[in-house]
Amino acid sequence: MMKNSIGLWALVALGIFCFTSCKEDKKKSQAPQKEELPMDSTDLALLELDLPEGFEIKVFARGVDGARSMAMGDNGTLFVGTRNENTVYAIQDTDGDYNAEKIMVLDTMAVPNGVAMRNGDLYVAQVDRLWKYPAIEDNLGDNPKKELIYDDYPDAFHHGWKYIAFGPDDKLYAPVGAPCNICDSTVVDERFATITRMDPDGSNREIVARGVRNSVGFTWHPDSGNLWFTDNGRDMMGDDIPPCELNRVTEVGQHFGYPFCHGGTVKDPEFGDQRPCSDFAEPALQLGAHVAPLGIKFYTGKMFPNTYNGKAFVAEHGSWNRSEKAGYRVMMATIEEGQVVDYEPFIEGWLDDATQKVTGRPVDILWLKDGSMLVSDDYGDAIYRVSYTGPKVASN
């Protein structure tokens, strides 16, 4: 990995505009900024990030308070959900320069973390309900029409915010996190600590994976079609255990251990005597404790060199209560025949290990049509674009 060597003077010449985050004054829309403005701390923080040689990162959209899950419309509108900001954004890059000119508040509601697109319709998931906005890109004005798909999922806020996505089976997948740090919540409602799926109209709901404490990111392998998901490990067992997890589902209904076993090997001190770790599916990879893995996507684009094809990119949001912080980076997993054979940093530097200063927390990953990467950051209130500008590598 090499330090991104683009100098401050070069970025100014390229017209990177000031990133101004204003939590107190949300605006219905944001007018294009055409004048050249001084850099602020977030722009400067990008200069400190480490990326592989030939890659660069720039701000795609700024002032997107609490930016989390992302979904792209067919006509190029980027929809962004939030957790605590109660806002769903619609973002447009109207002139195709990869710097968004228009940021609109599409709707306001409690905890609209999950967003997904299907056939021109936008789906937005709250903790206990799901909405559909028909033909959303034709109806971006005030108070767009929406339809309630369901309103009967558990309403516990703790780990209740949802990441949603449509799978290759055209079903909508939605997790239901455990409503606690550690508990056997399935005795209250069997949907707790699971990943579920349903038809687009909310019917035929079923549980796909059990024993999943808190998944806020999943995707499907481009070849096998298997569901891969991240899971956040429990707290209050110390700095270094248990591990967070990267998992894959090979059979519907598999159980991944929570609350009895963590990471495939760590017996829970409260529930571990009830069932052994051997009862459960092992994780595809044990991740660092408390790194909080969220978004995951496989690369299938054409911009990055061929060596990146099929690799899984994971956004590690970062720890909140570890004595020395961990995570705050985008990682890259190499997977061969369903097995993770390598896991290494792709973007790091949002955390300064020496000072423990944090400048960003990556959440979700999305691919643009040109093969570049978008990364949402709910700490920096921004969406970044990562592109490859190095020498072209000949195909084998």
Can you give the residue ranges of every domain in the chain? 49-388
Per DSSP, the three-state class of 45 is helix
* CA dist 393 → 6, 52, 318, 363, 387 (Å): 21, 14, 33, 30, 15
H/E run at residue 8: helix 8-13
pLDDT tens digits for range 286-339: 999 999 999 999 999 999 999 999 999 999 999 999 999 999 999 999 999 999
Quote the pLDDT of residue 212.
98
Quote the pLDDT of residue 141.
82
d(CA 159, CA 365): 20
Quote the pLDDT of residue 39.
57
d(CA 302, CA 390): 14
Quote the pLDDT of residue 23.
39
Which pTM was predicted? 0.89
Tell me the CATH number for domain 49-388. 2.120.10.30
* CA dist 130 → 147, 153, 155, 310, 387 (Å): 9, 9, 12, 31, 34
H/E run at residue 43: helix 41-46
Token pair for 74: 């067919």
Quote the pLDDT of residue 26.
38
Residue burial 84-116, b: 16+ Cβ < 10 Å; e: rest: ebbbbbbbbbeeeebbbbbbbbbbeeebbbbbb
Count of alpha carbons within 13 angstroms of residue 385, beta-carbon side: 22
Bridge partner residues of 247 (DSSP): 229
d(CA 285, CA 334): 11
Quote the pLDDT of residue 4.
42
Q: Count CB neighbours of 336 within 10 A.
A: 9
The DSSP output letter for 11 is: H
Q: pLDDT under 50 in the chain at which residues?
A: 1-37, 395-396
Quote the pLDDT of residue 143.
85
pLDDT tens digits for range 27-49: 334 444 434 445 566 677 899 99
d(CA 393, CA 207): 43
Quote the pLDDT of residue 392.
77
DSSP 236-260: SS-SS-SPPEEEEESSTTEE--TTT
